[in-house]
Amino acid sequence: MADKRQYYKKLSNTLSVGFFLCGIIPIAIIASASIYNARQLTIKNLEPMAAQVVQHRQEVIKNFIDYQIRLLNTLVKLYPEEYFHNQDNLNHLFEAISTSDDVVDLQTLDTNGKQLAYVGAYRSQIADKTWSDQTWFSQALASGVYVSDVFTGYRNVPHFVIAVTDPLKRLVLRTTINYQVFTALLHSAQIGSHGNVFIVNAQGEIQAVEIQYQKKLSVEEKSLILRHSGPQLTQIGGRLYATIWITDNWLLMNRIEIADVMDAYNEHLTRILWVISIIAVIFLAISIFLSRFIVAHIMKADREAANFDQQMAQIEKMANIGRLAAGVAHEINNPLQMILAQAGWIEELLSDEQQETMKNLDEYKTSIKKIHLHVDRAAAITHRLLGFSRKISGEQTEVQVNDLVQESVSFLEKEAENNQVAIELQLAEDLPTIMVEGNRLQQVILNLVDNALDAVGSNGKIEVVTTTEHDRIVIIIKDNGPGIPPEVMEKIWDPFFTTKEQGKGTGLGLSISQNIIRTLGGEIGAAGRKGGGTVFTITLPFKPQQPLAV
């Protein structure tokens, strides 16, 4: 039984897991696809915004630089060369163009790189310096306009310059752009709290950066410095890069941490996980319910199969007992008839003798009467055995229930007598006969009376009552034993359940009895008895019943 319980428990667990996985795996696949699509859609929606931001910033920065170039070109074209040699004139020009704080100084140089005039905060640092060896100076003379990379130069602070020449290239007018103002142009381009925006030159050197901790590009970021027109979007790991060329030498790079802009996706993910969790709990409950429901039906089917096997074995055993009883009865009847014949012959011989001369005649007659008495008793026993064997046929016959009860009780009278148990019969005189399988009904009565004998022990009392109720015959078997506790009463009909000591009961008697009565179209029930004891009640219909399928 322990192995069976373990088997059913393992089967229930296996079914639960199987049902749960069958239900949750498709949901998990669908949820995973939804989560993936939501992430990709979020990134797709981010890409146009990132492209628009860098394109807008490119236009702003390009316009800023172009404005400064146009301003310087206007100045060198508006005034003659000699005008820029005068320091006062340069002071006036600087005051005019520096109202917006875009530039920090203004300087004029001759073609040899010698300073002609200077206005700004770094007069002392650059006094007596020449710029003929500076790249920006030679490039400005060569092309007429030059925007330098960011460098420290003589000032030892990061800056970049815009330089132009007059139409005849006789002087160079240079201004230094306010680096803080220029860097501020990147401010509104940052996307996300951990994103960063920077300008790099074609060699990968950072020229301006929104967040100052960025000192140099990573290897992956340097790989993005490729010539292209318009905005270009590249995803590297958890980052999205939007790049666009501002000038031939400067590339605007907007680095976006994708995790910073996934709020909508995270909300969707949270909702999906909650839904999956709720569905998982529901599926788990359904799986457990279904597995237990199925296993309960399997257990019921197994019990019914075991019950059926036991009934078949019991029927076969009863049939064998019936055949044995018939054989024994026939074998005993033959010598009994011979004994009875010889006793009658002796009785006839005694009547022919001279009785006054026979000294022990009375003893002889008494012995003959005792022989007749015991032969009749033995004949009655064999007659019951023959009757019992005939009932084993399994066919429905017309049965008088009172006779069946009396015969059943007679088999247990000796046991009851030995245990000083009184069996009281209260049989209704007008009880009609019914069509039923007598042997199977007798098996139930024998089982219930035998259980009552076990329950009452010694000096007990058993009552067997027959009566009618509407169109049914009622058989009641009462005992004055200790009774059955309510918690046990619920289990007495279960196969293999027994309260008897090990080896004294299989736990199948009541289960088989219940099945037999139901097969015969009747009902059987048990209840506690006031004052102690148990009452078993069997009801059978008057009308003939076709045996139900077992």
**Shortest CA distance to 405 belongs to which of 430, 381, 424, 385?**
424
Residue 288 pairs in a beta bridge with none
CATH number at 310 reads 1.10.287
In a domain, 18, yes or no: no
- Please list, in sequence order, all residues whose beta carbon lies within 8 angstroms of the beta carbon of residue 255, skipping any fewer than 6 positions away: 195, 196, 197, 198, 221, 239, 240, 241
Q: Which of 49-53, 67-71, 210-214, 368-372 has the lowest mean pLDDT?
A: 210-214
Residues of the chain above pLDDT 90, percent: 28
* Beta carbons of 286 and 26 less than 8 angstroms apart: no
Q: Which of 41-50, 416-425, 484-493, 518-527 has the lowest mean pLDDT?
A: 484-493
C-beta atoms surrounding 517 within 10 Å? 20
How far apart, in whole angstroms, are the C-alpha atoms of residue 110 and residue 408? Answer: 142
Q: Which of 176, 200, 224 corresponds to the end of one domain?
A: 176
pTM for this one? 0.51
CATH number at 221 reads 3.30.450.30
* Beta carbons of 422 and 409 less than 8 angstroms apart: no
User: What pLDDT is stored for residue 212 in this prediction?
Assistant: 61
| Residue 387 pLDDT class (50, 70, 90 cuts) | low
How far apart, in whole angstroms, are the C-alpha atoms of residue 503 and residue 265? Answer: 70
* Beta carbons of 72 and 162 less than 8 angstroms apart: yes
How far apart, in whole angstroms, are the C-alpha atoms of residue 286 and residue 260? Answer: 40
Q: Based on the fold, state whether residues 516 and 449 are members of the same structural domain.
A: yes
| Residue 386 pLDDT class (50, 70, 90 cuts) | low
pLDDT in tens, 99-139: 778 899 999 999 999 999 999 888 877 777 888 888 889 99
Q: Which of 176, 194, 224 corresponds to the end of one domain?
A: 176
Q: Based on the fold, state whether residues 398 and 543 are members of the same structural domain.
A: yes
Q: Based on the fold, state whether residues 67 and 165 are members of the same structural domain.
A: yes
In a domain, 289, yes or no: no
Q: Indicate whether 550 pLDDT > 50.
A: no
pLDDT in tens, 232-286: 999 998 899 999 999 989 999 999 988 888 888 888 888 888 988 999 899 899 9
* Beta carbons of 443 and 516 less than 8 angstroms apart: yes
Q: Which of 125, 142, 176 corresponds to the end of one domain?
A: 176
How far out from the chain centre does Cα 490 lie?
33
DSSP letter for each residue of 38-76: HHHHHHHHHHHHHHHHHHHHHHHHHHHHHHHHHHHHHHH
Q: Indicate whether 531 pLDDT > 80.
A: no
Strand order in the sheet with 472-479: 422-427, 461-469, 472-479, 534-541, 523-528
How far apart, in whole angstroms, are the C-alpha atoms of residue 364 and residue 338? Answer: 18
User: What pLDDT is stored for residue 231 in this prediction?
Assistant: 94
**Shortest CA distance to 126 belongs to which of 116, 136, 111, 135?**
116
Token pair for residue 103? Answer: 């530039």
347-to-188, 254, 353 alpha-carbon distances in Å: 141, 137, 10
pLDDT in tens, 475-486: 999 998 888 888
User: What pLDDT is stored for residue 60 in this prediction?
Assistant: 92
Q: Which of 156-170, 191-205, 242-256, 500-514 has the highest mean pLDDT?
A: 242-256
Q: Based on the fold, state whether residues 97 and 147 are members of the same structural domain.
A: yes
In a domain, 158, yes or no: yes
Q: Based on the fold, state whether residues 384 and 423 are members of the same structural domain.
A: no
**Shortest CA distance to 132 belongs to which of 143, 121, 140?**
140
**Shortest CA distance to 445 belongs to which of 484, 421, 473?**
473
CATH number at 42 reads 3.30.450.20
Q: Based on the fold, state whether residues 410 and 468 are members of the same structural domain.
A: yes
Q: Indicate whether 213 pLDDT > 70.
A: no
Q: Based on the fold, state whether residues 432 and 541 are members of the same structural domain.
A: yes
CATH number at 497 reads 3.30.565.10
Q: Based on the fold, state whether residues 231 and 313 are members of the same structural domain.
A: no
pLDDT in tens, 37-46: 888 888 888 8
User: What pLDDT is stored for residue 549 in this prediction?
Assistant: 45
Q: Based on the fold, state whether residues 316 and 347 are members of the same structural domain.
A: yes
Q: Indicate whether 322 pLDDT > 90.
A: no
| Residue 473 pLDDT class (50, 70, 90 cuts) | very high
User: What pLDDT is stored for residue 80 in this prediction?
Assistant: 92
Q: Based on the fold, state whether residues 430 and 544 are members of the same structural domain.
A: yes
| Residue 67 pLDDT class (50, 70, 90 cuts) | very high
Any long-range contacts for 72-78 (C-beta under 8 Å, 24+ apart)?
A: 72/162, 72/163, 72/164, 72/173, 72/175, 73/145, 73/164, 75/173, 76/164, 76/165, 76/166, 76/167, 76/171, 76/173, 77/166, 77/167
More confident of the two residues 212 and 547:
212
Q: Indicate whether 314 pLDDT > 80.
A: no
In a domain, 6, yes or no: no
- Please list, in sequence order, all residues whose beta carbon lies within 8 angstroms of the beta carbon of residue 380, skipping any fewer than 6 positions away: none
Q: Based on the fold, state whether residues 399 and 385 are members of the same structural domain.
A: no
What does the mean pLDDT of the chain come to? Answer: 84
Three-state SS letters, 320-354: HHHHHHHHHHHHHHHHHHHHHHHHHHHHHHHHHCC
* Beta carbons of 480 and 531 less than 8 angstroms apart: yes
pLDDT in tens, 14-62: 988 988 888 889 988 998 998 888 888 888 888 999 999 999 999 999 9
Residue 236 pairs in a beta bridge with 239
In a domain, 438, yes or no: yes
**Shortest CA distance to 192 belongs to which of 217, 205, 211, 179?**
211
User: What pLDDT is stored for residue 217 in this prediction?
Assistant: 87
How far apart, in whole angstroms, are the C-alpha atoms of residue 231 and residue 57? Answer: 11
Q: Indicate whether 470 pLDDT > 70.
A: yes
Using the 8-state DSSP alphabet, how is residue 241 labeled? E
How far apart, in whole angstroms, are the C-alpha atoms of residue 436 and residue 544? Answer: 7
Token pair for residue 182? Answer: 């220029």
Q: Based on the fold, state whether residues 159 and 224 are members of the same structural domain.
A: no
User: What pLDDT is stored for residue 356 in this prediction?
Assistant: 65
* Beta carbons of 299 and 8 less than 8 angstroms apart: yes
Residues of the chain above pLDDT 70, percent: 87
Residue 293 main-chain phi, psi, to 5 deg: -65, -45
Using the 8-state DSSP alphabet, how is residue 364 labeled? H
In a domain, 159, yes or no: yes
Total domains in the fold of the chain: 4
Per the structure, the complete domain to which residue 254 belongs is given by 183-261
User: What pLDDT is stored for residue 74 in this prediction?
Assistant: 94
pLDDT in tens, 329-381: 667 777 877 787 777 777 777 777 666 666 777 777 788 877 877 777 677 66
* Beta carbons of 224 and 253 less than 8 angstroms apart: yes
In a domain, 272, yes or no: no
In a domain, 270, yes or no: no
**Shortest CA distance to 252 belongs to which of 300, 305, 209?**
209
How far apart, in whole angstroms, are the C-alpha atoms of residue 36 and residue 265? Answer: 10
User: What pLDDT is stored for residue 39 in this prediction?
Assistant: 84
More confident of the two residues 194 and 539:
539
Q: Indicate whether 548 pLDDT > 50.
A: no
| Residue 530 pLDDT class (50, 70, 90 cuts) | confident
